[in-house]
Structure 1
Amino acid sequence: MKIYIYIKILMMCAILADTSADINSIDPFDKAITSTLLDKTIDPDSYILGPGDELDFLMVTSSNIINERLKISYLGDVMIPSVGKINIDNLTISSAFKLISKKCNDKIQNSSVEITLSKIKDFKVLVLGPNNIPSGYFPVNSSMRLVDLFDKIILLYDTQNSEESSINRISSRNIIIENSNRLNHFDLVSFKMDGDIEGNPYLSPEDIIKLDYIKNTVNIFGAIMTPGQYEYSENDNLEKLIAIAGGFQNNADLNNIEITRYKNPLDKEIILLNRDSFSSFMLMPDDDILIKPLTDYKLKEYVTIKGEVKNPGRYSIDSNITIKEIIDRSGGYSRNADSSKIILNNEIINNLGDRELNRILALDSDSRSDLDKSYMRARARSDRGGISNADFNVNSSLMSNYKLFDKDIIVIPKKYDFIEVIGAARNPGRYPFIIEKEVEDYIDMAGGVTGNSTSKYYIIQSGTGDRIFYKDFKGSLNSQDIIFIEEKNDYNSFDRFKDIIQITSQVLTILAVMNNLSQ
């Protein structure tokens, strides 16, 4: 009993291992064809019967009823009880049915025969091609067309040759099917474009499919739906290539098509075409086609307004619209808007770059002049082409009438009323902004200064980022200003002593040199 259980376990492990191998396989041809999906009803006058096809057969005689599933043998025969063997290999369904009915009536007079096709055959076709293109015999069935097999071969090729497939692509416009010494050429790109079924035949036994790599290409760019490189096929015209590439974009200039063509391996020529020449102009390998776009075609310009307005979003504009008009179109300020502040930026302008800043950044820090450092500080406070205004009034400010550019971004910030006290304060942090309060009042709110204070205060203005010494500050504080109380620097006593000694020795050296020179 134990031996029997042990054998059963081994058998189950073998079955599971085999199943796992099937599941993990990536070869789309590693399994037999298990289902039949038809794209249309089978035509009995064109479908050719052969080994593997099955027929449902019903014959009613005066004394008997024969109901059989007839399988066409590997020799092309079917065996019918009471009738015998009938060879129907390579006959159409209609011809085979007539032959079977005649043979049955010849054998059994006054018999009634009904026949139908119940299962179509699986078979193999031979695929040939250069190195790395999957080749050999592949399982198919009578309902499969050329495109079905080709797509599976492409999948297998891309899986097995991930790097090679990006360089050498299999041609889909130069496929040859050989059968009974007849050669037929097929173009699957054309079939996928116009659906002409003649370009995508059913596969048949003894078919030999010959594949090759793409050898010639043309390029099409510009105002076309899918610009890029396409396989060239003999007798292609410009109209067909445009159709393959998905047609024109709406802004295409159809009367200004430019073709660059090689006259020889070195020299090129430019050919100009209009829309009347598309169907008559024949392409050549390596042609470059440029479909020029109309830049101003239905030109779309817009600005984006964000933040505290009633209807933020993207707004279409013309060339004369102002900041005030956009704020009005967006419904005006929201309840929480800080109407005294506005930020204007343009990412396209900012991305133009700043050559002066790049020049300064390329210098060593020691080589930068005071002017260079000042420029760096100025640029750090503002983006190129941007404005940040903390004294804005939509109805009276000059800025409200500024003309906007395409892709401008306007930000209306939320109102936050506070003053920040930092540095040598006992309780640094954020404190409510009160209009009538002075600098000393906010320092008192922060608990006064610490013993480490230098007693030097600075105002950092929120609108401009300017740092102003307190004694030079005129005017009143604004919301979000910063009060900075300078702290004493911490020094290491020994390091300070070394610095003093070094400076003293340098001074004495200079005095000694000057004394010698005077003598």
Structure 2
Amino acid sequence: MKKYFYAIVLFFCSAVFAQTAGNYESSASAKDTDNMQAANVGTVQKLTAGEVTAARNALNASIAMSSSDYLVTAGDIYTLAFAVNGNVVSYAIPVDASYRIRVANITTINVAGNTFLRLKQRVEELVTQNYPLSGVQFVLTSPAAFKVVIDGEVKETAIKQAWALSRLSDVIAGTLTDYASVRNIVVTSEDGKKNTYDIFKASRFGDLSQNPYVRPGDRITVGRMTRKVTIRGAVERPGTYELLEGENLKRLVDYYGGGLTERADTNRMELSRTSERSNPAGEILYLDGTAIASDYTLVCWDTLNIPTYAELKPVMFIEGALSSATGTSLDASARLPVVFETGENYGTLVRRNKERFSPTADIKNAYILRKGNPIPIDVNKMLYDASYYAEEIVYPYDTLVIPFKQYFVSVAGAVARPGRYPYIPDRTWEYYIGLAGGFINEKNSGEAVTIRDINGKKMRKTDPVTPETTITASANSFTYYFGLYAPVITTVLSAVSTTVTILIATRNMR
């Protein structure tokens, strides 16, 4: 018996290699097995279409044999092998539409409605009865592939390929229109029997009876939905749902939405309605908690928003050198609203929002602006001093102002681009004049400048430039002023000359 057993094991090893190579003959030759083994140890090459198909069939066969509910399907190919008088015999057993198969030279059986495991049991029992101790083996070599038709509320009628473990949801994926129903899908089997399925129940509750395996000859007809509504906000399962007849607001909230969350504010619900014939442009309806209790009637494309009490929290503002301001101009500022808890102090608020502060923020000189009055606050200690306790309470509409740490030098006067430029230590006044585009030669003569520090004190050109210095290029060019005032002087002189001439002429006439 050991000899028979080893012979059968050797045969099935050869069959596996032959299957991977795309050989579905009833027995695998030693040459084919050797070639496959050589391919496995050799360099990896790009698979051909046939090899890809063979690999897919092998994978599907493995999945099918490990599934207790795989039904024998027309188009399946099975392999039966056993030992007779010391010789291994094997048979390829195809299944056709009659579902009658011949088991070796023993008998013919009807396998319609059998699972693979049931068929395997029947076949192995038959062989064992006729050939005791023959080491019988029965495997699925190539699972069947078949076509199903999909019509109804789909983008276009389609014929899709499936196999015996394809579920209804798999084959209709990507075919539905926006108006398709997943609650009313009719499957007409090859014998004309019709069953209606609800994919929502399968996906939501795991009821696989509503998402069956498709079978050869099935025709899938997708119905048209009657109402789809959307629920957002304070429910456990926000989303868009298809309602059945008689289902309205209460069912939407409790069943589809999974119920309200703990902080749901049902007194400020908003219902956006776009399909009301009396108002084609749409409208917003405001509902309270009684609307749920009374099961308010919904129409197609309604959108319900249920806010939370968290939206009623007080608001303050953080303004100045915030992260959103960086990347624009260096003196840009941002203003962000921040929701806080009543009674929260500034230490907690600052630490909670520390990621908002820009690297250029001057947190040491921050202050609170409350009703127009500035209140100094040391943000630096709040962030980096563990022993510091902030007693200042946050009030609604406070503004926490975070100044910029970046310093600037102002350049004005007779330059091409007057403005404020970032301060860089150890740079001379000429550097900042260059940033401003240089002198306007028509206005400035001799590079004349006036330099004043942050306190307004006049500085020399040789003095180091300090932060917030103002450099003014003088408009001292004679030609500039001459060109500016010459027309005026000429006009005045002409008027004086004319007046004098008239006076002299008048005197001579006397």
Q: Which amino acid aligns with 2:402?
A: V
Paired with 2:119 and 2:306, the residues of 1 have a C-alpha distance of: 56
CA contact (8 A) 1:453 1:486 kept: no
* 1:508 to 1:320, Cα distance in 2 relative to 1, 3 A: farther
* SS in structure 1 of the partner of residue 480 of structure 2: coil
Structure 1 residue 211 displacement after superposition? 2.5
Q: Which amino acid aligns with 2:188?
A: E
Q: Which amino acid is 2:140 matched to?
A: S
Q: SS in structure 2 opposite 1:491?
A: helix
- CA distance in structure 2 between the aligned counterparts of 1:218 and 1:116, rounded to whole angstroms: 52
Which residue does the alignment assign to 2:309?
A: 294
Q: Where in structure 2 are the equivalents of 1:191-340 lying within 5 Å?
A: 191-212=202-223, 214-224=225-235, 229-234=240-245, 236=247, 238=249, 241-242=252-253, 244-245=256-257, 248-254=260-266, 265-266=277-278, 272-273=288-289, 277=293, 285-295=300-310, 318=342
SS at the partner of 2:67?
A: coil
Aligned to 1:174: 184
1:150 pairs with 2:150: no
- Structure 2 SS opposite 1:173: strand
CA contact 2:450–2:474 (8 Å) conserved in 1:
yes
- Quote the Cα distance in structure 2 between the aligned partners of 1:81 and 1:20: 35
- Structure 1 residues 271-420: aligned runs within 5 Å: 272-273=288-289, 277=293, 285-295=300-310, 318=342, 341-342=365-366, 408-414=399-405
Question: How far has the Cα of 1:181 moved from its partner?
Answer: 2.5
Taking the TM superposition and a 5 Å limit, the aligned residue runs for 1:423-502 are: 452=445, 480-484=468-472, 486-488=474-476, 491=480
CA distance in 2, matches of 1:500, 1:250: 84
Whichever residue aligns with residue 491 of structure 1, its letter is Y
Q: TM-score, normalised by structure 1?
A: 0.51
Q: 1:129 aligns with which of 138, 152, 157?
A: 152
Instruction: Tell me the CA shift for residue 82 of structure 1.
Output: 2.3
Code of the residue aligned with 1:294 in structure 2: it is Y
Paired position in structure 2 for 1:4: none
Cα distance in 1 between the residues matched to 2:315 and 2:65? 48
Match status 1:55 vs 2:78: yes
What SS does structure 2 have at the residue aligned with 1:140?
Answer: strand
1:81 aligns with 2:81: no
Contact 1:258-1:273 at 8 Å conserved across structures: no
Residue type at the aligned position of 1:71: P
Deviations 1:385-408 (A, max 9, x none): 99999xx7979xxxx989765684
Cα gap change, 1:287 to 1:67, in 2 (>3 Å): same
- Aligned-residue sequence identity (percent) comes to 18
**8 Å contact from structure 1 (residues 457, 469) kept in 2:** no
Q: Is the 8 A contact 2:367 2:377 kept in 1?
A: no
Who is 1:43 aligned against?
Answer: 68
Structure 2 partner of 1:441: none
Distance 1:453 1:92, change over 3 A: closer
- Which segments of 5 or more consecutive residues in structure 2 lack a partner in the other structure? 1-45, 323-337, 355-359, 380-390, 427-442, 459-464, 500-510
Distance 2:366 2:288 in 1: 51
Counterparts of residues 111-130 of structure 1 (less than 5 Å): 116-119=138-141, 120-129=143-152
Q: Given the superposition, is the C-alpha separation of residues 494 and 129 from structure 1 closer, same or farther in structure 2, using an over 3 Å criterion?
A: same
Query: How much has 1:265 moved relative to structure 2?
Result: 4.1
Give distance in 2, aligned partners of 1:148 and 1:219: 24
TM-score by length of 2: 0.52
| 1:214 CA drift (Å) | 4.7
Q: Is the 8 A contact 1:257 1:274 kept in 2?
A: no
SS, match of residue 219 in structure 1:
strand
How far off its partner does 1:451 sit?
7.7
Q: Residue 145 of structure 1: CA displacement?
A: 0.9
* 1:99-149 deviation line (CA, Å, top 9, x unaligned): 65787689x58797956452432111111135x724332111111111222
For residue 51 of structure 1, report the CA deviation from its aligned partner: 1.9
In 2, Cα distance between equivalents of 1:228 and 1:214: 16
Distance of aligned partners of 1:282 and 1:479 in 2 relative to their CA distance in 1, 3 Å threshold: closer
Task: Report the Cα offset of residue 208 of structure 1.
Answer: 0.8
> How far is 1:482 from its partner?
1.9
- Which residue identity does 2:67 align to in structure 1? I
Number of equivalences: 381
Q: Is the 8 A contact 1:342 1:413 kept in 2?
A: no
The aligned residue for residue 140 of structure 1 is 162
| CA deviation string 1:52-72 (max 9, x = no partner) | 223343556788764434222
Q: Distance in 1 between matches of 2:498 and 2:373?
A: 54
Q: Is 1:453–1:485's contact at 8 Å kept on the other side of the alignment? A: no
DSSP-derived class of the 1:211 partner: strand
Distance 2:237 2:476 in 1: 67
Distance in 2 between residues matched to 1:104 and 1:432, nearest whole Å: 96
AA of the residue aligned to 1:139: Q
Aligned to 1:184: 195
Gaps of 5+ in 1: 1-18, 23-28, 155-164, 308-313, 331-335, 347-384, 434-449, 463-467, 471-476, 511-519
Equivalent position SS for 1:177: strand
Q: Give the structure 1 partner of residue 385 of structure 2.
A: none
Is the Cα contact below 8 Å between 1:172 and 1:187 reproduced in 2? yes
Describe the SS at the equivalent of 1:251: coil
Provide closer, same or farther for how the CA distance between residues 497 and 281 of structure 1 changes in structure 2, counting only shifts above 3 A: closer
Query: 2:474 is paired with a residue of what secondary structure?
Result: strand
**Conserved in 2, the CA contact under 8 Å of 1:221 and 1:227?**
yes
